[in-house]
A and B are shown apart, each in its own frame.
Chain A
Amino acid sequence: MAHNTLQTDRTGRAGGALERLVPAALALGVLLVLIDVVWTFTLAPMVQGAELSEPVVIAGQQITTKLLLSQKIFYLHVPVAVASFAVMAFAAFWAVRFLMTGERRFDVWSKTAMEVTLVFVAATMISGDLWTRFEWGVWWVWEPRLTTYFILMLLVIGYFILRNAIEDPERRARFSAVFGIVAFVDAPISFLITRLVPSSIHPVVFRTDSGLPPMMLIPFLLGLFGMLLVAFALTRIALRINSDAAEVEELKERLEEQDAWRERAAADEALERLRAAGAKLSAPAADVAPAAAPDVRRAHNPEVVGSNAAPAADATRDSDQSAPSSQEV
């Protein structure tokens, strides 16, 4: 995934060639995942599970182990989990970019990637929990991988609680970027924990000598690639929505600013007109008939009672209500 190469225009909206790939990536990803699921239930062999308490004879053959149908969830569970790590890596990467540049769009991107991460983490937890229940008969085990992944989910949830707790957008962006980076430290721990603390429950899947037969490896890889494509497409779509939302917010702010500016301009214009009217009145009064001037001024604008128009105009500027009086003039 080449998120970091994408370009945005000035308003922070994502665009460019990658944008056109999104529908294709989504379709291809969904197709690959579907092939993975169909293959899983048709061609992939069953896995020998736990030993039975006593051998049973089925169709003339002595069976000592149980075939595990629940293992089929492996083909979805692992790709979803890997996708969640990948998206979270981008969330942390964009958080670093935000702290480096201070550009607001990176905050929006980081938040978006975190949202997608939460979706994939939830999907992983649900699928993993179903697997746990059907394979071991319990809903939850405090096993290293499970525990660290559970903590990852709590960290992502904590990220959004932190975001909601801060009002000021600048501080919110800064603090959530810091926390996003700190939270990401758990992701490699969770990914590598099966290597550090070996457990039979989560084998080390990503290795060159995985021992998976091709009939199992191929659907798994298809599912993995498909899920990464789906994650990419979902992130891009969410990115566009969030960028648009951020842009709308910005435009709304600018509109309000412009509104205020226009009101101010109207007020200034009214003031100018008032001044011009005052000057026009006082000019003939001073040059031609000084005695008649006060009468004329009073007749045209009863409110202006000063000896010249300028202080009166200042008064109208102070009260900031010159727009209605300009109608009267």
Chain B
Amino acid sequence: MARTPNNQPKARCAEPPTSAAPRSSAARRRASSWQQYRALLAKDLRQEIRTREMLTSMVVYALLVLTVYGAALAQVGDRLQVVSFAGGLLWALIVFTSLLGLNRSFAHETESSCLEGILLAPVDRAVIFLAKATANLIFLAVVECITVPLFFLFFLSGAELAATTPYIVLPLIVGTIGVAGVGTLLATMTIDTRGRDVLLAILLIPVIFPLLYACVSATSVAFMGVEGTFGTFWTSLAVAAAYDVVMIAAAWGLYEFAVEG
């Protein structure tokens, strides 16, 4: 009896905020896909800047692959010969390094149940996919910015480079986008499975094979720079870009089934 007068003002006090809260949260939700994306991306980048775990391991791994190439190519004397298959070597390096990075990128999420937290939040699964894929793309691009000059330094420093060599940047961009997009979907699925590192390789390499084939073809044409063959470069690049569009659309649509619902 004595409580009701006490409660009433409280309820009245509580009412304006509760009625305002849905309005503000609804406003936030309506405007927020982009904000959610930015927040998730910033979280990944901040985490990486603080730990530097993924970038360090990827760069060191890429260096080791380059060392193995050094042993494998020790008997190839002529620099010109290396130029003819440099595109393939470069892409093998990128694929193996990105496999390592993609596995690491989701190790963070499971270690501290971070993924569960993200899934509990009212965030669209497609936004999570895009943020995660962008983060992976940024990390892969950073690693490529370090390793591709090193590749030139180690294996092509004495070679006569064709005038079209700078064009390799285009297949590198298109290919990295595809690897990051498809890799994010597959890494999400394999993260909780038995033997996830091997499983990601088993699933990712066949799936990205058409992209890899087109990118190696375009990169090799740019490296060789033979007159009249540059049409192949644009064809391969178009195939790679078409693959990117199809696969990223598929991964975007299927992502909600790939994360724990």
Q: Which of B7-15, B58-66, B121-129, B187-195 contacts A (4 or more CB under 8 A)?
A: B187-195
Q: Which of B37-45, B110-118, B139-147, B200-208 contacts A (4 or more CB under 8 A)?
A: B200-208
Contact call B207/A189, Cβ cutoff below 8 A:
no
**Leading 9 A-B pairs by shortest Cβ distance:** A165-B193, A154-B206, A151-B209, A175-B189, A155-B206, A165-B194, A178-B254, A158-B202, A151-B206
Contact call B250/A182, Cβ cutoff below 8 A:
yes
Given known contacts A155-B207, A178-B258, A185-B247, what 5 new A-B pairs fall within 8 Å (CB)?
Answer: A99-B257, A161-B199, A165-B194, A167-B194, A178-B189
Q: Per-position contact with B for A173-188: 1 when CB-CB < 8 Å, else 0?
A: 0110111011101100
| Cross-interface CB contact of A183 among B185, B205, B207, cutoff 8 Å | B207
Residues of A near B246 (CB, < 8 A) are: 185
Q: Give Cα A18–Cα B81 distance, bound, in whole angstroms.
A: 61
| Residue A162 at the chain B interface, CB threshold 8 Å | yes
Interface centre among A99, A154, A158, A178, by most chain B C-beta atoms within 10 angstroms, is A178
Q: Give Cα A17–Cα B19 distance, bound, in whole angstroms.
A: 60
B161 to chain A minimum Cβ distance, whole angstroms, is: 26
Residues of B166-191 contacting chain A, CB below 8 A:
182, 185-186, 189-190
Q: Give Cα A147–Cα B209 distance, bound, in whole angstroms.
A: 9
Residues of A near B250 (CB, < 8 A) are: 181-182, 185
| Residue B210 at the chain A interface, CB threshold 8 Å | yes
Residues of A near B207 (CB, < 8 A) are: 155, 182-183, 185-186
Residues of A near B206 (CB, < 8 A) are: 151, 154-155, 158, 183, 186
B229 to chain A minimum Cβ distance, whole angstroms, is: 15
Residues of B near A174 (CB, < 8 A) are: 257-258
**Chain A residue total in the interface (Cβ 8 A):** 26
Contact call A177/B185, Cβ cutoff below 8 A:
no
Q: Give Cα A158–Cα B186 distance, bound, in whole angstroms.
A: 12
| Residue B213 at the chain A interface, CB threshold 8 Å | yes
Q: Give Cα A179–Cα B207 distance, bound, in whole angstroms.
A: 9
Residues of A near B202 (CB, < 8 A) are: 154, 157-158, 161-162
Q: Which chain B residue lies CB-closest to A172?
A: B193
| Cross-interface CB contact of B254 among A165, A171, A182, cutoff 8 Å | A182
17 pairs, CB–CB < 8 Å, chain A vs chain B: A147-B209, A151-B206, A151-B210, A154-B202, A161-B202, A162-B193, A162-B202, A166-B193, A171-B192, A178-B189, A179-B189, A179-B203, A181-B250, A182-B186, A182-B254, A186-B210, A189-B210
Q: Per-position contact with B for A144-169: 1 when CB-CB < 8 Å, else 0?
A: 00011001001101100110011100
Residues of A near B257 (CB, < 8 A) are: 99, 174-175, 177-178
Contact residues of B with A, CB < 8 Å?
182, 185-186, 189-190, 192-196, 199, 202-203, 205-207, 209-210, 213, 239, 246-247, 250-251, 254, 257-258, 260
Residues of B near A179 (CB, < 8 A) are: 186, 189, 203
Known contacts A99-B257, A186-B210, A158 near B203 by CB under 8 Å: yes
Q: Per-position contact with B for A127-152: 1 when CB-CB < 8 Å, else 0?
A: 00000000000000000000110010
Q: Per-position contact with B for A82-119: 1 when CB-CB < 8 Å, else 0?
A: 00000000000000000100000000000000000000
Chain B at the A interface: SS class: helix
A104 to chain B minimum Cβ distance, whole angstroms, is: 15
Q: Give Cα A174–Cα B192 distance, bound, in whole angstroms.
A: 13
Residues of B near A155 (CB, < 8 A) are: 206-207
Q: Give Cα A181–Cα B205 distance, bound, in whole angstroms.
A: 16
Residues of B near A154 (CB, < 8 A) are: 202, 205-206
Q: Give Cα A155–Cα B206 distance, bound, in whole angstroms.
A: 6
Residues of B near A175 (CB, < 8 A) are: 189, 257-258
Residues of A near B205 (CB, < 8 A) are: 154
Residues of A183-211 contacting chain B, CB below 8 A:
183, 185-186, 189, 196
Contact call B203/A162, Cβ cutoff below 8 A:
yes
Residues of A near B199 (CB, < 8 A) are: 161-162, 165
Q: Which chain A residue lies CB-closest to B206?
A: A154
Q: Which chain B residue lies CB-closest to A98?
A: B257
Interface centre among A165, A181, A189, by most chain B C-beta atoms within 10 angstroms, is A165
Contact call A182/B185, Cβ cutoff below 8 A:
yes
B10 to chain A minimum Cβ distance, whole angstroms, is: 43
Q: Give Cα A308–Cα B246 distance, bound, in whole angstroms.
A: 76
Contact call B258/A148, Cβ cutoff below 8 A:
no
Q: Which chain A residue lies CB-closest to B213?
A: A147
Contact call A162/B210, Cβ cutoff below 8 A:
no
Residues of A near B247 (CB, < 8 A) are: 182, 185
Q: Which chain A residue lies CB-closest to B196?
A: A165
Residues of B near A171 (CB, < 8 A) are: 192, 260
Residues of B near A196 (CB, < 8 A) are: 239
Contact call B189/A162, Cβ cutoff below 8 A:
yes
| Cross-interface CB contact of A165 among B195, B213, B239, cutoff 8 Å | B195
Residues of A near B251 (CB, < 8 A) are: 182
Q: Give Cα A196–Cα B258 distance, bound, in whole angstroms.
A: 32
Interface centre among A147, A151, A167, by most chain B C-beta atoms within 10 angstroms, is A151
Contact call A148/B193, Cβ cutoff below 8 A:
no
Q: Give Cα A99–Cα B203 distance, bound, in whole angstroms.
A: 20
Q: Give Cα A186–Cα B203 distance, bound, in whole angstroms.
A: 13
A147 to chain B minimum Cβ distance, whole angstroms, is: 7
Q: Give Cα A147–Cα B212 distance, bound, in whole angstroms.
A: 12
Q: Give Cα A174–Cα B254 distance, bound, in whole angstroms.
A: 10
